Amino acid sequence: MRKAQNWNQPCPDKSCEMYGQMNKGNISGISTYLTKSGSRSIFKCKCCNYSFSETGDTVFFDLKTPEEKVITALKMILVRVSISGISFVLSIKEVTILKWQDRAYRKADKINKILLKDIAVTEVQSDEMWSFVKKK
């Protein structure tokens, strides 16, 4: 079995002593399955025996639509394309797009914490940000 350190997967079980810790050797890949977006892995924590999907606790968990289509719809929302316009272009019901938007909204804070964690900002960039804030 391959170790999860190859994928940076932490144990998602809050009652596990290894919860949230990555690359500690406690996670093993136990199987794979196919989705419309490609092959996905199932992992198992050796400490608590909890099994989980690589997309678990993400915007894409348990969606039947390909991830690329969901990402495209969310990007269109970001550039202010109307929900009805997205629905027409991608041939998706408006209510489905709104559900995807709600999923993304609920995960946004967690995503930002991960993505913005180790960003190196120079002093010049900090000054520019403060001058922008002061103008507002």
Report yes or no on 123 lying in a domain.
no
50 and 67 together in one domain: no
pLDDT digits (tens, 9 = 90+) for 31-63: 988 888 788 889 999 999 999 988 887 888 888
What domain range includes position 97? 58-116
Same-domain status, 67 and 50: no
Q: Identify whether 1 is part of a domain.
A: yes
Q: How many CB atoms lie within 10 A of CB 128?
A: 12
66 and 79 belong to one structural domain: yes
Q: Is the pLDDT assigned to residue 22 strictly greater than 70?
A: yes
Residue 134 covered by a domain: no
37 and 71 in contact (C-beta within 8 Å)? no
Does 82 fall in a domain? Answer: yes
Last residue of a domain, one of 36, 57, 78: 57
Contact 86, 96 (CB under 8 A): no
Structure confidence at residue 3 (pLDDT):
45
Model confidence pTM above 0.95? no
Any domain includes 126? no
Are 19 and 43 part of one and the same domain? yes
CA distances from 75 to 3, 79, 101 (A): 33, 7, 10
pLDDT at 68 over 50: yes
Decide if 23 is inside a domain. Answer: yes
Strand pairing class (38-45; 51-53): antiparallel
3 phi, psi to nearest 5 deg: -80, 150
Question: 133 lies in a domain?
Answer: no
The percent of the chain in helix, strand and coil, each rounded to the nearest 5, is 45, 15, 40
Number of domains in the chain: 2
- Is residue 15 located within the same domain as residue 52? yes
List the alpha helices (DSSP H) in 16-115: 67-78, 83-90, 94-115
